[in-house]
Amino acid sequence: MEGFWLVSGIAAVYSLDRYANSTPLLWRMLYALKHRGGGRMSICAFEDEDRFVTFTKPVEASSSSPPDELMSQLRSPYAIGYVGQEIQPFIRREKPVFATSLDGKLSDPARLRATYAMMGCRFETWEDVEVFSIALASEYGICSDWVDAFSGVMEEVDGGYALAVLAGDGDIIAARDPRGLKPLFLGAVGENFMLVASESCAIESVGGRLLAEIRPGEVLVLSDKRIGRAGGVVGRYPLFQGDARVCCMELVGHLSPETFIEGGLVRDLRISLGWALASIAQNDYLEAVVCLRQSDAEIAIGFSEYLGIPFYREALSKGFEEVGSVALVCGLPPTFTELRQVSAILRGFGASQVLAYSVLPIPKRSCFAALHPIRREELEETGVKALPVAALRKILGKNVCLACITGRPIVKPKVARPHKPGFLSVLKELIERR
């Protein structure tokens, strides 16, 4: 995604057959998530107790077919993966040993980093995934239970995230933040493979069936050792009470149009947004519609349908050279640089006028969960027409987070599952006493 609207994707595969190879499935799932930031595709597979094997390849040099190097180097029934710009999955080498893939951000990683540094923890990177991993390891060191460890960390650490952990014994634990800002899905292929992914389209890309959308604040455990084969391998633990508040930027710009979320297809939602956006352009003279980003195509389709004017996916399309006034449609607000460059290109292909329309207005503040660090100076002078907040709420519904647009953060849900006081809660109490 262009500009600073950067996201990532995670996936995990757990096989009931300990002699099966899960990495080809995982590779194809990651490739289906390549629209979530590009960069590199990385896999971390379980080799033996507390031992992992990794494989990384740039997205640009990848295809949906697993590369020969992957097939020869990695063969494991349990694996997690990451696609994005960061160096993930992050592997913790000290006890407890585990690997973590994280999609999202923490709201105050600097404070947590400073706290753990005071306790003698050493950091290898500046990524949030390492901070979360150290917090999780600290909690697990006290309670020796993954669910209780996640409960302690998720209660004390704020942010918007979805993550998958590959434990040193091969168990896979996945979780979604208490507000549900980041999506996470559970699926299956046949009777042997359990799947976890950032989007349902990744599960469907390998012929899997969608089993559930992980609820906000829910921890998912895939382990035949913990639960027993007779009871299945899936353990679902709702740790927080509350409805999902999916990030508005996920719905409008990041998710694949083929993903199902909150019971509907993202494609249909974006076409509806395009219709609404076109309603504010009825008095403008427009002859054609183009989209700023590939993820804006469905919005542009709805826009063109409402106004009855042609939609050109590319300025090189036949007939575009005869167009005068062009509507440049986007889901996320464009930066000044983006708008200037694209407008110049469109004028070079014959457009006499370029008017920009954005579904989301300019954010009033950076996302409170630190998902999107907004630089307002790059957005304020674009003159883009956008949907009012009331129209957004009507179409997107109540289960969507508009905190960056309205400036009012949503309240963190209450804990639903009591747990023993862990490292972070005890440390917080000691600091407050001082």
Contacts of 396 (CB under 8 A, 6+ apart): 248, 251, 269, 402
pLDDT of res. 117:
83
In this prediction, residues 217-236 reach a mean pLDDT of 72
In this prediction, residues 61-68 reach a mean pLDDT of 85
Q: What percent of the chain has pLDDT over 70?
A: 87
Structure-token pair, residue 162: 């979805």
pLDDT of res. 5:
53
In this prediction, residues 286-304 reach a mean pLDDT of 92
Domain ranges of the chain: 9-242+413-425, 252-406
pLDDT of res. 424:
55
In this prediction, residues 322-348 reach a mean pLDDT of 85
In which residue are the tokens 């349902």 written? Answer: 200
387-409 CB burial, b ≥16 within 10 A, e <16: beeebbbebbeeebbbbbbbeeb
pTM score above 0.95: no
Highest mean predicted confidence (pLDDT) among 65-74, 228-237, 383-392 = 383-392
Judged against a pLDDT cut of 60, whether residue 423 lies above it is answered with no
In this prediction, residues 97-105 reach a mean pLDDT of 94
Judged against a pLDDT cut of 90, whether residue 176 lies above it is answered with yes
Same CATH fold assignment for domains 9-242+413-425 and 252-406: no
Q: Could you tell me the end-to-end alpha-carbon distance of the chain, in angstroms, rounded to an integer?
A: 45
Q: What is the CA radius of gyration of the chain?
A: 23
pLDDT of res. 349:
80
pLDDT of res. 320:
61
Domain 9-242+413-425, CATH number (from 3.60.20.10, 2.170.120.12, 3.40.1010.10, 3.20.20.70): 3.60.20.10
* Closest among 84, 79, 94, 76 to 21, alpha carbons compared: 76
Confidence of residue 316 (pLDDT cuts 50, 70, 90): low
Burial (0-12, 13-18, 19+ Cβ within 10 Å), 310 = middle
Judged against a pLDDT cut of 70, whether residue 92 lies above it is answered with yes
pLDDT of res. 228:
43
pLDDT of res. 194:
94
Judged against a pLDDT cut of 90, whether residue 312 lies above it is answered with no
In this prediction, residues 261-286 reach a mean pLDDT of 92
pLDDT of res. 434:
52
Judged against a pLDDT cut of 80, whether residue 74 lies above it is answered with yes
- Tell me the sheet residues that pair with 231: none
pLDDT of res. 220:
94
Judged against a pLDDT cut of 80, whether residue 317 lies above it is answered with no
Domain 252-406, CATH number (from 3.30.540.10, 3.40.50.2020, 3.90.1150.10, 2.30.30.40): 3.40.50.2020
* Closest among 356, 362, 287 to 325, alpha carbons compared: 287
Judged against a pLDDT cut of 80, whether residue 416 lies above it is answered with no
pLDDT of res. 123:
86
Judged against a pLDDT cut of 80, whether residue 85 lies above it is answered with yes
pLDDT of res. 3:
41
Highest mean predicted confidence (pLDDT) among 18-22, 124-128, 230-234 = 18-22
Judged against a pLDDT cut of 90, whether residue 83 lies above it is answered with yes
pLDDT of res. 322:
66
| Between 313 and 227, the higher pLDDT residue | 313
pLDDT of res. 204:
96
At position 275, the amino acid (one-letter code) is W
Reply yes or no: is the peptide bond before residue 361 cis, omega within 30 of 0.
Answer: no
In this prediction, residues 139-147 reach a mean pLDDT of 89
Average pLDDT of the chain to the nearest whole number = 85
Cα dihedral sign for 367, 371, 377, 378?
A: negative
